[in-house]
Amino acid sequence: MKSCVQRNKAIGFACRVRKNLDFVLRQREQGEDVHEVTQIVLSTLGLVVFPWERERKAVSEMAASLTLDYLTSQGWPAWDFSKGTSSTLIDLIRHLRNAVAHGHIWFSSDDRKAENVVLTFRDKRPEEKEYRWEVSITAADLRIFCEKFVDLVFQTQ
């Protein structure tokens, strides 16, 4: 990962978010009373949503051609779709951004270990009553996804 640049740049902010996530995870490994799952979800904002919002043109060009099947074959975690679908990274990010921005995230439990918590993200249009898109992933896999995504964004810089 490149060194952290200005905080006002999406990539500089993401760099700092990743440092904080790494710190919290190290503290958890040492037995400290920190909330790993909470930090991973918060990191989604800084590692996925901010880069998407601030670097949309570069991210869109890169993400439009990447299918989720291809990314999974390259070691990215798989998402479990229960409503709707996303075949490309750009479509997944668009829905994920909406879910995060509108607080449409549900936790399977209050367990403190990331591998034991399944996160469900839902998206719908404002005028719709029912969610049209729903996807789940463990918090541990969400961490991997966020790190791989921001690494991809770093490559566009």
pLDDT digit string, tens, across residues 127-156: 888 999 999 999 999 999 999 988 887 776
28 located within any domain: yes
Report the first-to-last Cα separation within the chain, whole angstroms: 11
Question: Can you give the residue range of the structural domain that contains 75?
Answer: 10-156
Within a domain: residue 3? Answer: no
Residue 1 — pLDDT band, cuts 50, 70, 90?
very low
Residue 141 lies in a domain: yes
The model scores a pTM over 0.85: yes
Look at residues 25, 49, 27 and name the one whose alpha carbon lies nearest to residue 37: 25
The pair of structure tokens assigned to 81 is 């779709």
pLDDT exceeding 90 applies to what percent of the chain? 52
Residue 13: pLDDT over 70: yes
Specify the higher pLDDT residue, 57 or 123: 123
Beta strands in 7-149 (DSSP E): 80-83, 105-107, 118-123, 133-138
On whether residue 2 sits in a domain, the answer given is no
Q: What total number of domains does the chain contain? A: 1
Mark 93-108 as b/e (b = at least 16 C-beta within 10 Å): bbbbbbbbeeebeeee
